């Protein structure tokens, strides 16, 4: 999945998205467009927009924009 498609999925509020990146479990929990929870291993971030969630660098120092095509989705 590319970053544009992942962003569309988040913006649709389809539900929680679980994945693995570099052998570590991660999740994206879009409660609404102003409350998106990110988790990667033991690191979390609460984002206030889809754009902020896509730019958060909690994924081993990278953002979802940078790693979208490398995620192993569940």
Ordered per-residue pLDDT tens for the chain, 74 residues: 999 999 999 999 989 999 999 999 999 999 999 999 999 999 999 999 999 999 999 999 999 999 999 999 98
d(CA 3, CA 71): 10
Task: Please give the model's pTM, rounded to 2 decimal places.
Answer: 0.94
d(CA 32, CA 68): 20
Domain boundaries, the chain: 3-73
pLDDT of amino acid 6: 97
Query: Of 18, 5, 3, whose CA–CA distance to 68 is shortest?
Result: 3
Cα Rg for the chain, rounded, in angstroms? 11
């Amino acid at each position: 999945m590319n970053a544009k498609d992942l962003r569309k999925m988040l913006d649709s509020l389809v539900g929680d998205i679980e994945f693995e990146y570099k052998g570590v479990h991660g999740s994206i929990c879009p409660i609404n467009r102003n409350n998106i929870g990110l988790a990667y291993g033991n690191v979390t971030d609460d984002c206030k927009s889809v754009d902020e969630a896509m730019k958060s660098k909690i994924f081993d120092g990278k953002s979802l924009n940078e790693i979208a095509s490398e995620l192993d989705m569940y």
